[in-house]
Amino acid sequence: MSNNRFNGKFVQVFTEMNVTRRIALQRIHILFRLAKETIHEDPKLAQRYVKVARKIAMATKLRLPKQYKRLVCRHCKSFILPGVNCRVRIQQRREPHVVVTCFCCDKYSRIPLRSRRNI
């Protein structure tokens, strides 16, 4: 009997966490969409949207979805959109890789092309 109750509580806590994360993920999607839409008109607002999205991810211990990870500078954590405030170049020398240069902090990050795990 007591074992059952424990399991019930555990399941309840577990599903509550899932609901929280689902809502968090929805909001991250919304915030990134808004950031992409507003970066041309109001870059500061776009940065704020992404800052909030990252805070939500951190608070709920969620990882930013893959497609958004590349839109955040590894160094200064600002929102970078190719053609707007970052430069994307393919580099064939040594290991083929993509170089993303952030215009906010002038630093670059490399994305290897041959590795199996996608960043």
Pair 102, 76: CB distance under 8 Å: yes
- C-alpha distance from residue 73 to each of 17, 22, 70 (Å): 29, 25, 7
- 104 is an interface residue for Zn ion by CB under 5 A: yes
- 72 is an interface residue for Zn ion by CB under 5 A: no
The answer to whether the Cα torsion of 43, 38, 36, 56 is positive or negative is positive
- 100 is an interface residue for Zn ion by CB under 5 A: no
Cβ proximity to Zn ion, 47 vs 97, nearer residue: 47
CA pair distance 9, 21, nearest whole angstrom: 18
Q: Which of 22, 69, 75, 110 is close enough to bind Zn ion by CB under 5 A? A: 75
- 105 is an interface residue for Zn ion by CB under 5 A: yes
- 111 is an interface residue for Zn ion by CB under 5 A: no
| Dihedral of the alpha carbons of 25, 71, 76, 94, in degrees to the nearest 10 | 130
Cβ proximity to Zn ion, 57 vs 100, nearer residue: 100
- Of 29, 9, 8, nearest to 71 (Cα)? 29
- 102 is an interface residue for Zn ion by CB under 5 A: yes
- 113 is an interface residue for Zn ion by CB under 5 A: no
Shortest approach of Zn ion to residue 48 CB, angstroms?
16
* Sites of contact with Zn ion (CB under 5 A): 73, 75-76, 102, 104-105
